[in-house]
Amino acid sequence: MAGRSTSDEHYVLDLCDDVLGAHGLRQSTFEWLRGDPSPKRPLGTKLPVDAYWPALKLVVEFQEEQHSQPSPFFDRRQTVSGVGRGEQRRLYDARKRELVPLHSLRLVVIEKSDFLVRSKRIVRNRHVDHDIVHRHLVVGALNEENLR
């Protein structure tokens, strides 16, 4: 298993930093973005976002396969919500899609499947991958502005 610093998530978020010309805060949390309550945490645990650029009012979520495909090994566990881990992940992803924009932040979701993947890892081609990230962050933002 690759270390965190060599993970696909780390690689893509570093590309985001390059495109944006600023370093995003990794695994940021907000008081208003929480998981389901439990006896130990009646307010729910703060849900982290993959990266947050406060000055740009931007949140980026990098979604790997487990966000769109079943992952039987990880999904078999029941959660505090009484649902399987896969269902909880879908609920929390939806919560982020709903709440992040309500707090005047832009949410960009970058899918691992947007990149060339071999043996479950992104095949690293910085030039090509930089363009992919640029399209999500810059071109996507321009399209959003044109829709307003």
Q: What is the CATH number of the domain that holds 100?
A: 3.40.960
Gap between the terminal Cα atoms of the chain:
44
Question: Could you tell me the pLDDT band of residue 70, with boundaries at 50, 70 and 90?
Answer: low
60 phi, psi to nearest 5 deg: -120, 130
pLDDT score at 66: 53
Q: Which of 61-75, 101-115, 129-143 has the lowest mean pLDDT?
A: 61-75
Q: Helix (H) and strand (E) counts for the chain?
A: 5, 6
Domains contained in the chain, number:
1
Query: What percent of the chain lies above the pLDDT cut of 70?
Result: 78
Q: What is the pLDDT of residue 24?
A: 98
**Comparison of pLDDT for 139 and 80, the residue scoring more:** 139
Average model confidence (pLDDT) for the chain? 86
Q: For residue 37, what are the domain limits?
A: 4-147
Angle at 56 between CA 51 and CA 61, to 5 degrees: 25
**Tens digit of each residue's pLDDT (9 = 90 or more) over 10-67:** 999 999 999 999 999 999 999 999 998 888 889 999 999 999 999 999 999 999 855 4
* Whole-angstrom distance, CA of residue 88 vs CA of residue 98: 15
